[in-house]
Amino acid sequence: MGQLRASNKDVVHEDENDDGNIVVINTCGFIGKAKEESINTILHYVDKKEAGMVDKVFVTGCLSERYKPDLEKEISDVDQYFGTHDLPNLLKALEADYKHELLGERVTTTPRHYAYLKIAEGCDRPCSFCAIPLMRGGHISTPIEDIVKEAGHLAKNGVKELILIAQDLTYYGLDLYKKRALADLLKALVKVEGIEWIRLHYAFPTGFPLDVLEVMKKEPKVCNYLDIPLQHINTELLKSMRRGTSAEKTIELIGKFRASVPDMAIRTTFIVGYPGETEESFEELKEFVKATQFERMGCFAYSHEENTHAYHLEDDVPEEVKNKRVAELMEIQGQISFDLNQEKVGDVFRCIFDRKEGNFFIGRTEFDSPDVDNNVIVDASKFYIQIGQFIDIKITEATDFDLYGEPAKAMIQ
Ligand code: SF4
């Protein structure tokens, strides 16, 4: 979007009226549900094109990288498909120039005060179930100085919170600096003026750089928050998933997190219904979730993806059993989250406010990432809060996934 604007093109993200003469669809091809959503979106705009409401439809992103020949055959009304490394060609088709010097200058699609910041692309891991390396290639870390430059541009445009993402944060730096450099990157980013929160998403458990915990503990700008997908706890399944870890090592790692940064919110995700997951191994997972009390947890039903290593295994857990296990695990987590949230009632948290929804202001604590974690909800008929501002909120009530509160120092409207 930054590149298009620099070529004087009028560009908007997800225009709610669906108007615009050229539509570019950025697709996901990770698992069944994501592919379905991408295809439905393509079909929606192809219909619009047929009805004369849209002139051209271009498709880019992971689905297009993974299935280009099939898509060209099956949905031929799309004007052109592009892969994940095709940005200059896509721009050419849009009659815009690719300008390398614009690197790091972006048009964000999130509220003004936070932005996702990608620190590496691709993945070198061999996880058996995962199609991402097929679509995004091997791991390439962005140099620290380029990331700091991009963070500086974002901060100048009003961004206060950076959400660091990559397929694998743990590996950051190994390709480029021959050492894990996430801690160095954090030390550089905390110096960027205007940035107040830095949040870490998608770390890999094996080889996690423990020096990051020191930085997290010392630097108030680094949120005490870590998203680390664990996928399972049963050692046999972890081995089959090719995750390079075991139940014992995983438990040891979580223990280190808790010991180093006691109030850290840990977010994780699990896959249930992976080939060979028995009732016993699922029980083991349930017990682990209960014992660990993750602050946040997500759970996915295994999706059997062609050209992955696990595709050679038999997808032997029936769909209804997978879905039942997802529901069961989420119910356990619902109770954990409810109990942890109750403990917060009466406490004061520094929060940032993302939006106003109806009669409520919606914000978050440092322990909550946008869209996936708790909301902090404040009654807008009683209090006024400026969007994008930090403010201390006293929690007055809590449910399983929401906290209700009011400004600690009353700002009555
Ligand atoms: S680390 Fe993540 S992106 Fe990489 S192969 Fe494993 S699951 Fe896929």
Average pLDDT over residues 225-245: 98
For residue 200, give the nearest of 299, 118, 278 by alpha carbon: 118
CA–centroid distance, residue 128 to ligand 1 (Å)? 9
Q: Kindly report whether the global pTM for this prediction surpasses the value 0.75.
A: yes
118-172 pLDDT, tens digit per residue, is: 999 999 999 999 999 999 899 999 999 999 999 999 999 999 999 999 999 999 9
Q: Cα 180–293–326 angle (5° rounding)?
A: 95
Q: From residue 325, give the alpha-carbon distance in Å to each of 130, 175, 274.
A: 20, 38, 11
Whether the predicted pLDDT of 18 surpasses 70 = no
pLDDT recorded at residue 190: 98
Q: Whose CA is nearest to atom 8 of ligand 1?
A: 130
Q: Whose CA is nearest to atom 2 of ligand 1?
A: 167
Whether the predicted pLDDT of 234 surpasses 60 = yes
Mutate to test the pocket of ligand 1, among 62, 84, 125, 232 (most ligand atoms within 8 A of CB): 125
190-205 pLDDT, tens digit per residue, is: 999 999 999 999 999 9
- How many whole angstroms separate alpha carbon 123 and alpha carbon 138? 5
Choose the most confident range, by mean pLDDT, from 1-5, 98-102, 268-272: 268-272
Residues contacting ligand 1 via CB (< 6 Å): 123, 125, 127, 130, 132-133, 167-168, 204
Mutate to test the pocket of ligand 1, among 167, 169, 208, 228 (most ligand atoms within 8 A of CB): 167
Token readout for 292 is 């660990």
pLDDT recorded at residue 271: 98
Query: Residue 410: which pLDDT band, with cuts at 50, 70 and 90?
Result: low
pLDDT recorded at residue 413: 47
- How many whole angstroms separate alpha carbon 325 and alpha carbon 237? 16
pLDDT recorded at residue 99: 87
Whether the predicted pLDDT of 411 surpasses 70 = no
pLDDT recorded at residue 370: 96
CA–centroid distance, residue 127 to ligand 1 (Å)? 6
Whether the predicted pLDDT of 348 surpasses 90 = yes
Query: Residue 382: which pLDDT band, with cuts at 50, 70 and 90?
Result: very high
CA–centroid distance, residue 117 to ligand 1 (Å)? 18
Mean pLDDT taken over the chain: 95
Average pLDDT over residues 331-336: 98
Which long-range CB contacts under 8 A does 99-102 form with residues at least 24 apart? 99/3, 99/6, 102/2, 102/3, 102/6
Q: Whose CA is nearest to atom 3 of ligand 1?
A: 167
Token readout for 285 is 């997972």
Token readout for 90 is 């896509």
Query: Residue 230: which pLDDT band, with cuts at 50, 70 and 90?
Result: very high
Closest ligand 1 atom to Cα of 126: 5
Amino acid letter, residue 60: T
Mutate to test the pocket of ligand 1, among 128, 130, 174, 232 (most ligand atoms within 8 A of CB): 130
Whether the predicted pLDDT of 281 surpasses 90 = yes
Token readout for 253 is 């790692």
- Concatenate the DSSP letters of all residues of 66-96 into one string: HHHHHHHHHSTTSSEE--TT-HHHHHHHTT-
- How many whole angstroms separate alpha carbon 365 and alpha carbon 374? 8
Closest ligand 1 atom to Cα of 131: 8
CA–centroid distance, residue 202 to ligand 1 (Å)? 9
Q: Whose CA is nearest to atom 6 of ligand 1?
A: 127
- How many whole angstroms separate alpha carbon 289 and alpha carbon 135? 31
168-197 pLDDT, tens digit per residue, is: 999 999 999 999 999 999 999 999 999 999
Amino acid letter, residue 343: E
Whether the predicted pLDDT of 57 surpasses 90 = yes
Least confident of 26-35, 94-103, 136-145, 194-203: 94-103
Average pLDDT over residues 225-241: 98
Phi, psi of 204 (to 5 degrees): -105, 135
CA–centroid distance, residue 143 to ligand 1 (Å)? 21
DSSP label at residue 126: -
pLDDT recorded at residue 280: 98
CA–centroid distance, residue 300 to ligand 1 (Å)? 14
pLDDT recorded at residue 20: 73
Average pLDDT over residues 6-21: 81
The residue with greater pLDDT, 48 or 107, is 48
Whether the predicted pLDDT of 328 surpasses 90 = yes
Closest ligand 1 atom to Cα of 123: 4
Average pLDDT over residues 281-294: 98
Query: Residue 312: which pLDDT band, with cuts at 50, 70 and 90?
Result: very high
CA–centroid distance, residue 242 to ligand 1 (Å)? 10
Closest ligand 1 atom to Cα of 168: 1
Instruction: Report helix, strand or coil for 333.
Output: helix
Q: From residue 97, give the alpha-carbon distance in Å to each of 3, 8, 25, 65, 88.
A: 8, 10, 19, 22, 7
- How many whole angstroms separate alpha carbon 305 and alpha carbon 312? 10
Sign for the pseudo-dihedral over CA of 143, 146, 148, 151: negative
Closest ligand 1 atom to Cα of 202: 2
Closest ligand 1 atom to Cα of 204: 1
CA–centroid distance, residue 307 to ligand 1 (Å)? 14
Query: Residue 107: which pLDDT band, with cuts at 50, 70 and 90?
Result: confident
Q: From residue 346, give the alpha-carbon distance in Å to each of 188, 225, 262, 397, 404.
A: 35, 21, 20, 8, 11
Closest ligand 1 atom to Cα of 136: 3
